[in-house]
């Protein structure tokens, strides 16, 4: 009984994870290229189509690490100095999604999904 319950719980978690992951992986992601220089995102305002996964490619040109983070996108990633980081985001509903550098309060940007 305990083993069956454990299997059912694991199956449910797996099913939920598949529901969320599979569509994103199956569709072609919209790529958004950002550079981070002198403590600012370039460009700071970007857009993407709704209901398609998104892939941010962030090139950090500064001499110190930055952390690409967004509460509404529910992602975070540290990008080391002089390197590039990739952040994959689920297919999004229309709206405005803010992002920022968690190490630098002045570095802000926003993604508009239409």
Partner 1 sequence: MLSSGSVARAEDASSWREIETKYIFGFTTGSGIGLEGEKEVTVDSLGRFGKRDGYYAASETKYEFEFTPSQFIQIEFGALGSAHNISNVTGLDDRSQIALGGGFAEFRYLALERTSNNPLAVTLAVEPTIRRIDETSGERVRNFEFETTVNADIEILRNRLYAGFNLLYEPEVTKTSLGDTQREATAGGSAALSFRIMSNVVLGGEVWYLRHYDAANLTAFTGDAVLLGPTLFVQFTPKMFMTAAWDTQVWGREVGSPLALNLSEFQRNRVKLKWAYEF
What the block records as the tokens of 2 is: 């305990």
Beta bridge partners, 78, equal 67
What is the CB neighbour count within 10 angstroms for residue 18? Answer: 10
**Binders of partner 1 among 34-93, rule CB under 8 A?**
69-77, 89-90, 92-93
98 lines the binding site for partner 1 (CB under 8 A): yes
How far apart CA 95 and CA 50 sit, in angstroms, is 9
**Binders of partner 1 among 11-30, rule CB under 8 A?**
13, 16-17, 20-21
Contact positions vs partner 1 (CB under 8 A) = 13, 16-17, 20-21, 69-77, 89-90, 92-98, 100, 102-103, 105
């Amino acid at each position: 009984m305990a083993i069956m319950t454990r299997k059912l719980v694991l199956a449910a978690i797996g099913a939920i994870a598949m529901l969320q992951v599979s569509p994103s992986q199956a569709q072609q992601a919209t790529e958004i290229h950002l550079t981070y220089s002198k403590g600012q995102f370039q460009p700071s305002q970007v857009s993407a189509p709704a209901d398609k996964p998104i892939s941010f490619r962030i090139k950090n040109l500064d001499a110190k690490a930055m952390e690409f983070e967004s509460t509404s996108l529910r992602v975070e990633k540290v990008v080391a100095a002089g390197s590039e980081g990739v952040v994959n985001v689920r297919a999004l509903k229309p709206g405005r999604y803010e992002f920022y550098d968690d190490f630098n309060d002045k570095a802000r940007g926003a993604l508009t999904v239409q």
